[in-house]
Structure 1
Amino acid sequence: MPLPSQPLRRLGFLTIGLFDESDPRAGHESTLNIIELGERLGFDSAWVRHRHFQLGISSPVAVLAAATQRTTRIELGTAVMPLGWENPLRLAEDLATVDILSGGRLNPGMSVGPPTHWEHVKDALYPDTADAEDFGYERVRRLLGFIRGEPASGFRGTEGIEVYSDRVQPHSPGLARRLWYGGAGLRSARWAGENAMNFLTSSVVKAEESEDFAEIQLSHIRAFRAQHPEGERARVSQGLVVIPTDSASAEQRAKYEAYVRARTPRTASPQGPARLMFAPDLVGPSDRIAEQLYAHVAFREVDEVAFALPFTFEHDDYLQILTDLATKLGPALGWSGPAQREGA
């Protein structure tokens, strides 16, 4: 998106799906209601985060299965599922099933690496195989193969009245083209391109060659597309924390601005041993946010986004933010909802 005259093509949002430990259903219902609202507002996609042993969504596939039955058009994604917690064969079955239920709207995003707090969870997660588990890219390759229909069993045929396939069932033919890899470094960006996946780049990157967030993110996008068979047409979705305040109350604006102030210091320099760089959160009227986005060199390379909702806000805050994203910021970026596109 090098010029404001070239419109944003796809608008999405991302939610963590927080809940109260004493009443988890209410939080999950809130997440589903937000996804339903996203569809009514015309968003192209809704994405959920993945959290284990936290008060967030631990089973995004289950939540999105429920969302398929409450929506008809909006695409549903995960950003991202850490595959260290998953069996690729079983996950392939679950993803294909939900994709079939959705009518081909699922966009699974994934990442690799050992599970968080590995030393504390390995005995529960892999009591007999912890030392043998591979948490690298091969785990993604296995999942890709199963979803693409490669043989997963050495037996195919009929036993009595039981019919067996040698590949994952159900098979959803279009799902493989809607798989995303979430990467924070150059190696991951290149690997995603080499393996013909789509690429999710978020508000966190590794400071490998620079300490300028936008320049780092730009290098990842270009490295990904340089390796992808589709080149410049390869799909990249950018996720930043964006909080429009057009219809916010004075109380909400004060809360949002305080939230951003508290998080801004971490954006000044690389954080921790991994040298992570965090993008500044954007808060304010939509016209000002649009100007900030057009000044962002990585944003100018993409035509689809999944703006992240802040972690700790209330349900009514999310309703206001989503409404402003769809009715104010999206149009300021040249985006038009599906109804407008279909009528054009």
Structure 2
Amino acid sequence: MPRKSEPLRKLGFLTIGLFDEKDPGAGHRSTLDVIVLGEELGFDSAWVRHRHLQFGISSPVAVLAAATQRTSRIQLGTAVIPLGWENPLRLAEDLATVDVLSGGRLNPGISVGPPMHYDDVKHALYPETADVENFSYDRVQRLLDFVGGEKVASFSGVEGIEVWSDRVQPHAAGLRERIWYGGGSLRSAKWAGEHGLNLLTSNVAQSELSEDFAETQLSHIKTFREHGGNRVSQGLVVIPTDSATPEQRAKYEAYVEGRAARAGKTFGPRKYMFERDIIGTSAEIAEQLYAHLGFQEVDEVVFALPFSFDHGDYVQILTDIATKLGPELGWSPA
């Protein structure tokens, strides 16, 4: 997207689906209501985060299965499913089932690597195989093969009154081309491009060639495309305040201020860095996005909603994004 010369083509949003431990149903219903609102506002896609052993959505595939029955048009995505927690064969069946229920609207986002706090959970997750589990890109390749229709069994045919397939059923045509990789490094961008995946970028990246976040994200996008990749989505936290009440604006500003200290720094041995959240009127946010090197290279975005806001706040933010920020970026609702 070379600055302002071309319109934003796809506009989506991402939510963590926070819930109260004592009343988890309310939080899950709120997430579904937000997805329905997104469709009504004309968003192209709605995405849910994946949070194991936390108070956010632990089973995005199940939540999106429910969303398929409440919506008819909006694309539904996961950002992202960490495959270290999953059996690729079983996940392939779940993804295909939800895609069929949605009429071909599922966009699975995935990543690899050991589960977070693996030493604390491996005894429960993989009690017999924890020390030999393969958390490399091989795990992604298995999922891609199974979703794509490769054989998973040596037997197929009729046995008694039952019919057996040697491939994952149901087969969801086109799902393989709608799988995204959540990448924040040059290595993952290169691998995703070489293996025909789409690339999800976010507000977290691994500093390798620069300690400037936008420059780092630009290097990842260019590497992805140099190795055969095409579709890239950018996912920053943006908070438009056009229709916010004074109380909401104060809450939003405190949220952004509380996270501001981590921007411009690197963390841990892998030098992770965070992009700052963008808050202001839609016109102000648009100007900052147009100046962002990563945004200049994409024509679709998935803006991340802040973690800890109330349902009414999300309604205001999504409404402003769809009716004010989107048009500022040249986007038109579906």
TM normalised by structure 2 equals 0.99
Residue number in structure 2 paired with 1:309: 305
Residue number in structure 2 paired with 1:325: 321
Residue number in structure 2 paired with 1:112: 112
Q: Which runs of 4+ in 1 moved over 6 A?
A: none
Identity of aligned residues (%): 71
* Whole-angstrom CA distance in 2 between matches of 1:90 and 1:39: 29
Is 1:235–2:231 an aligned residue pair? yes
Once the two structures are TM-superposed, the CA of residue 161 in structure 1 deviates from its matched residue by 1.4
Deviation track 1:279-309 (CA, whole Å, cap 9, x = no partner) reads: 0100000000000000001101000000000
* Whole-angstrom CA distance in 1 between matches of 2:313 and 2:162: 52
Residue number in structure 1 paired with 2:256: 260
Residue number in structure 2 paired with 1:62: 62
Give the letter aligned to residue 46 of structure 1: A
Residue number in structure 2 paired with 1:286: 282
* Whole-angstrom CA distance in 2 between matches of 1:74 and 1:259: 29
Q: 2:258 aligns to what SS in structure 1?
A: helix
Give the letter aligned to residue 83 of structure 2: L
Aligned length: 334
Residue number in structure 2 paired with 1:48: 48
Once the two structures are TM-superposed, the CA of residue 5 in structure 1 deviates from its matched residue by 2.6
Once the two structures are TM-superposed, the CA of residue 268 in structure 1 deviates from its matched residue by 2.0
Q: 1:131 aligns to what SS in structure 2?
A: coil
Give the letter aligned to residue 155 of structure 2: F
CA contact (8 A) 2:155 2:166 kept: yes
Give the letter aligned to residue 301 of structure 2: V
Q: 1:76 aligns to what SS in structure 2?
A: strand
Once the two structures are TM-superposed, the CA of residue 91 in structure 1 deviates from its matched residue by 0.2
* Whole-angstrom CA distance in 1 between matches of 2:161 and 2:148: 27
Give the letter aligned to residue 112 of structure 1: V
Q: 1:266 aligns to what SS in structure 2?
A: coil
Give the letter aligned to residue 320 of structure 2: D
CA contact (8 A) 1:49 1:80 kept: yes
Residue number in structure 1 paired with 2:203: 203
1:21-36 equivalent positions in 2, closer than 5 A: 21-36=21-36
Once the two structures are TM-superposed, the CA of residue 118 in structure 1 deviates from its matched residue by 0.4
CA contact (8 A) 1:238 1:302 kept: yes
Deviation track 1:79-114 (CA, whole Å, cap 9, x = no partner) reads: 000000000000000000000000000000000000
CA contact (8 A) 1:5 1:334 kept: no
* Whole-angstrom CA distance in 1 between matches of 2:223 and 2:46: 26
* Whole-angstrom CA distance in 2 between matches of 1:52 and 1:81: 10
Residue number in structure 2 paired with 1:154: 154
1:326-341 equivalent positions in 2, closer than 5 A: 326-338=322-334
* Whole-angstrom CA distance in 2 between matches of 1:134 and 1:140: 10
Give the letter aligned to residue 290 of structure 2: Y
TM normalised by structure 1 equals 0.96
Aligned-residue Cα RMSD (Å) equals 0.6
Is 1:174–2:174 an aligned residue pair? yes
